[in-house]
Chains A and B, each alone.
Chain A
Amino acid sequence: MQPHKLKQNHRIIGASILVTVSFILNKTLGYTWLTIMVMAASTLIAGIPIFVNAVRAIRYWIVGIDALVTIAVIGAWFIGEYWEAAAVTYLFMIGNYLESRTIERTKSAIQALLKLAPDTATVRRSGKEVTINPEEVLPGELVIVKPGEKISIDGTIVEGSAYINQSAITGESLSVHKAASDTVYSGTIIESGYLLIRADKVGEDTTFAKILELVEEAQDKKARTQKFLEKFSRYYTPLVILLAVVLFAVTRDIVMALTLLVIACPGALVISAPVSIVAGIGNGARQGVLFKGGEMLEKFSSVKMVAFDKTGTLTRGKPEVTRILTYGMPKEELLKIVAVGEAYSEHPLARAILSYADKELGRFDEKPTEVSYIPGQGISFIFEDKLVLVGNRKLLASRNIQLDVCESDLAEEELLGQTTVIIGHEQRVLGMISIADPVRKEAKQVIQRLKSSGIQRVVMLTGDNPRAAKAISDQLGIDETYSELLPQDKVRILKELQNKYGSVAMVGDGVNDAPALAAADLGIAIGGTGSDIAMETGDVVLLSGNVSGLAYGLDLSRATVRNMKQNISFAILVAILLLGGVLVKSVNLSYGMLIHEVSVLLVVLNAIRLRGFNTSLEEIK
């Protein structure tokens, strides 16, 4: 590769010197044999790769831009326009060089992501530490990672603890602390600490590798605008060739016909949409918002209404103890009594209480006796020779325990949408514990941002009961709430909303709302670390694992579509001006080429601006 690059640089330098010399000679001496010789040398140095490419393509009966330029150069020589020939080849060469260099920059965000891929892994094999290629790590092997190093596999921490920067996967730059039995991901970096990790997934199976593959694929899933432009250009080039032939036949003006050929490649137009899209997708991927293609950017930008799933999307999806109330005893004591009784229960509410007790009280060894489960009501057990009841109103009523003492507190909690378990002991109420699936802390702000960005309506679709749904929708400022829905009901309601409001985006965690995600105009899945289903089902995936990227995604999609439209209108304007300019003879061969190349560069440079787009991201986080 190196000698090839060197050769290209030499060619550019050589051609630049020769074309400058010939320009000066032309101005001072005019067309002399020396001037023509220098121009010929310049044309050959810059033009040989073009001519070679033209011949290669023509062998397959394909007429590309190289062939058009070659015909134009030969034509120019034929009619004695030696300077034009030198200028056109030079501009074409330099233009192509600059284009490929700048196009690379639109992809720099994606390239930066690729660079995050781990390149080595240190594993413990038969007692020794060996450094190998990450692809060669076998599942189950122990991998050692030290500060500043990249984790090369998806795995479980066996030993050690560390602060880990997970931005490669989540887009979140704040480091997280992880210790034994936590899951860690390939592509993330240990900032401080030391880890011994058991490899679960390696190579292409890792979350990071899957994200990379999706981003690579996304770049070439074409936007509607792009497909249209490609169709257009398929007819445009032959049309211009035909026009050149007709023009020559009618006017006998070979210079004009040749000029038309040179400007025939609608470079700026064809490239206008893809460069914006690549830059937009790259920017999103770096910030944890994965667009699965150009079309998704277009769709997101025109969304009128956003529907949310509740559990796991607006809430964390895991019930937690939110409040403990006692009537005449310390909270710790009540918690302990309940935890002892619930220790063997598999009920989700029991698990919430146990994990809370685990945090607050630590270990305890007491055991209940005569534990019995009353379906739909709760449990009863004997602890320290007394009967304890843990459950709902029905359970306590069935044992004739009066609820007077806690009635007003209970009503208050219910109004907030909390699930409350009451603890009865002998003949009285000891207290109650409220459990709820807490709202994600960023949810409210994101919903407000969506509304201020012009989203007309924010809707919640949930399988949960109306009371819990209403409590959350009031808290978050949601416009419409539909509760007690089955997955197919969600699909039906989405259809109705689509008819009413237009384009609808559905946001969900992808587990039980896959049909709804597919039914919406745009399915946005909460994904990222360890959530393969979400990554597969969403059109857009929020890699951060929460909804914070939603407003950013909307803003970015709009900025990208705006950028694309700027590029397309500019490119069309240039094409019209060039065509008009050639027909009224104010654009000659080399000018045509210059304007053509400059317009392509401007379009690419405009797209590069998208790399810097990051408004209001920090504000949301």
Chain B
Amino acid sequence: MTTKLYQLKTFSCPSCIAKIEKMLMKTKGIRSAEVLFNSSRVRVSFEEKEVGSQEIKNLIEKLGYQVIGEK
């Protein structure tokens, strides 16, 4: 299992970003997803065999949040 942090642009509405968590949790291969509101980051743990980091990035961006970094 791999854990990665994705840096997004500053969030505005905290109750709305819950959808990032929900969306990720519905994605196959993702074990846990946590939105860190204050530092505008998303921490995702996933099985690399089932889902790629790039794919996760695309999913977040498709939801309307630009990913500006990952580590």
Contacts and interface: CB of A to CB of B under 8 A. Distances in A.
Interface of A: 1, 4, 49, 52-53, 56-57, 60, 62, 64-66, 96, 99-100, 103-104, 107, 216-217, 219-220, 233, 237, 265-267, 270-271, 274, 277-278
B14 A57 contact: no
Contacts of A103: 10-12
Given A52-B64, A65-B13, A274 B19 contact: no
A277 B64 contact: no
Contacts of B23: 57, 60, 62
Given A65-B16, A66-B16, A220 B10 contact: no
A536 B31 CA distance: 27
Chain B, interface size: which category?
A: 20 to 34
A277 B38 CA distance: 9
A220 B39 contact: yes
A62 B13 contact: no
Contacts of B10: 100, 103-104, 107
B27 to A, nearest CB: 9
A104 B40 CA distance: 10
A270 B35 CA distance: 14
- Pick from B10, B13, B23, B66 the residue with the most CB of A within 10 Å: B13
Contact of A56 (B11, B12, B63): B63
B16 A64 contact: yes
Given A60-B19, A265-B15, 12 more contacts: A1-B68, A52-B64, A64-B16, A65-B13, A65-B16, A99-B12, A99-B13, A220-B36, A220-B41, A267-B15, A271-B14, A274-B14
16 contacts: A53-B63, A56-B64, A57-B63, A64-B19, A65-B15, A65-B16, A99-B13, A100-B10, A100-B11, A100-B12, A103-B10, A103-B11, A103-B12, A107-B38, A265-B15, A274-B37
B4 to A, nearest CB: 15
Contacts of A62: 18-19, 22-23
B64 to A, nearest CB: 5
Dominant secondary structure at the A interface: helix
Contacts of A233: 15
Contacts of A99: 12-13
A56 B38 contact: no
Given A220-B37, A277-B38, A60 B16 contact: no
Interface in B47-71: 62-64, 66, 68
Contacts of A104: 10
A99 B14 CA distance: 11
Q: Which of B11, B22, B37, B41 has the most CB of A within 10 A?
A: B37
Contacts of A216: 39, 41
Nearest to A274: B38
B22 to A, nearest CB: 5
A65 B13 CA distance: 9
B38 A220 contact: yes
Contact of A219 (B14, B38, B62): B38
Contact of A96 (B12, B26, B66): B12
A40 B10 CA distance: 30
B17 to A, nearest CB: 9
Contacts of A277: 38
A267 B22 contact: no
A12 B1 CA distance: 43
Contacts of B64: 49, 52-53, 56
A107 to B, nearest CB: 8
Contacts of B38: 107, 219-220, 274, 277-278
Contacts of A266: 15
A286 B63 CA distance: 35
Contacts of A274: 14, 37-38
